[in-house]
Amino acid sequence: MKYSVLADVYEELEKHSSKLKKRDILAELLKEASVKDLGLLAKIITGSVSSLETGVSTSMIIKAIGKASGNPESEVKNTFKRKGDLGITAEELIKSKKQRALLKKELSVENVYDEIVNLPEISGKGSQERKLNSVAGILIAATPKEAKYIVRTILGQLRVGVAQGILRDSIAKAFDIDKKLVESAWNLNPDFGKIAEVAKKDGEEGLKKIVIDVGSPLMVLLAEKSPSLKDALESYENPVLEVKFDGVRTQIHKKGDVVKVFTRKLEDVTKQFPDIVKMAKTSIIAKECIIDGEAVGMDPKTNTPLPFQKLSRRIQRKYDIEKMIKEIPVEVNIFDITYLNGKSLYNISFKERRKLLEKSIKSTKDFKITKQLKTKDLKKAEDFYNKALAQGQEGIMVKNLEAGYQPGRKVGYWLKVKPTMENLDLTIIGGVWGTGKRTGFVGSLILGCRDKEKFLTCGMLGTGLKEKKTDDTDVTLEEITRLLKPHIISEKGSSIEINPHVVVEVGYEEIQKSPKYESGYALRFPRLIRLRTMEKPASQADTLSRIKYLYTIQKGKK
């Protein structure tokens, strides 16, 4: 498929706010696409070309636009300041390019996809220059409109309003299939590209044959937050309590002698955790299974849990893996099993899954099944909760023993109980450049909560950012600025608008109503607790409804 066709569709999608209209536009595109193109379209249409960061910053895009359009960087920057959108900047400058290639080869969706997916693979000496040339090369080959959407896709700022739900409904409409069946297939194999291909070739019968593929990551069940331990216990007839660990959600796949490790965001981290692979091979008795757990970093000297930030260094590390294993060994706590010897366990109760888990794993010191407490007694539950906090963990989980396993959703099967006022996971959507000692750094952060597909402001944070790092858990001005720079959308004076990407855990004294912020609420005395980007995407940040709920229950307002 020509990329120009997709660019036209993007343009149409931008014009409409209606989800039904977007669904219909996208359904027509999918219906006309070849089977070969469907897989690529399903990824590129949502902007999720790769699970890896491209490593292409705003400044690199500015240089690439300059190269492709024949303009100096200063002109690109000036246009960017006027337009506030690098995609539109590329479109305008390439449109006014003085010399145009006469026999320019038309780009295909496959060309663009391959170029973008290859960007994270460019590493080593001279990698920045090679990435710049790669981006500039594809922009040179693009029409102005194509350039607009290529730039946005690379930066993760597509802005056409197509999320997973719309894509699911588009596949259903395009191939006349019940959307519940499409979602069911996605739960078993969260690859809309494959699902679209099967739907086109084999229809409903083909989708019914989709099964879990051990070695391909699955969405995990997500917990809801409970306002109190008492409320959590009263939510279920048959509750069970487990420790909520401060680590990395770990999905482990075993098929024969092959073991793979994935994160909650479906990233393959098998190479970063060869120690988990070794433990899994020793401890897992089952021939084929998928287990759900949490890897916790441990202090090798004291054998006590390390903060998540320290463990996150292992996820990011590509080299010196053995050194990191010695510095930050892990303890894996297994709490669920979702697949066993050819059978999905999604529809089996947690009580029965636990029995199967205990038969499938031989617990060791560093790879063990999580301990449980079955009780509805508040005093016993409080003792369990306080013990978990004393051990340095986040809190506890209260789970429904009679519930199944619903991947990728918060459906009330699990509740998490943490110290109150409960911290919020919010996205940074803006900021202000600092002055004085903070000159050159983003000194204040504008926080955003989710409201459907939008992010609304709910406070400004400056407390909790350190000038110098005195501990691995500290977040410095330099670090947060480095993380935010690639996602800056526009600048006006000292104020900046930031694409929602970086998620932070925020503590606060209370929630107040405030007309100053788009959400209608403000956090009083917010402070940065830690970064959450490695474990939580912006699409899973806390919602406006969550803030409203916390507001009603604080100080007995409910």
Tokens of 336: 């669920």
Pick from 133, 174, 132: nearest CA to 45 = 174
SS (H, E, C) 118-181: HHHHCCCCCHHHHHHHHHHHHHHHCCHHHHHHHHHHHHCCCCCCCCHHHHHHHHHHHCCCCHHH
Q: Among this protein's residues, is 179 annotated catalytic?
A: no
Integer Cα distance of 536 and 424 in angstroms: 12
CA distance 81 to 382: 55
Distance in angstroms (rounded) separating the CA atoms of residues 416 and 222: 10
Helix (H) or strand (E) holding 256, with range, is: none
Residue 85, phi then psi, degrees to nearest 5: -150, 120
Token reading at 405 = 């396993």
Annotate 41-63 with b (16+ C-beta within 10 A) or e (fewer): bbbbbbbbbeeeebebbbebbbb
424, 503, 552 from 457: Cα distances, Å: 13, 14, 19
β pairing state of 395-400 and 239-244: antiparallel
Asked if residue 341 lies in contact with residue 286, where contact means CB atoms within 8 angstroms, the answer is yes
Active-site option among 131, 244, 399, 416: 244
Which residues are catalytically annotated? 244
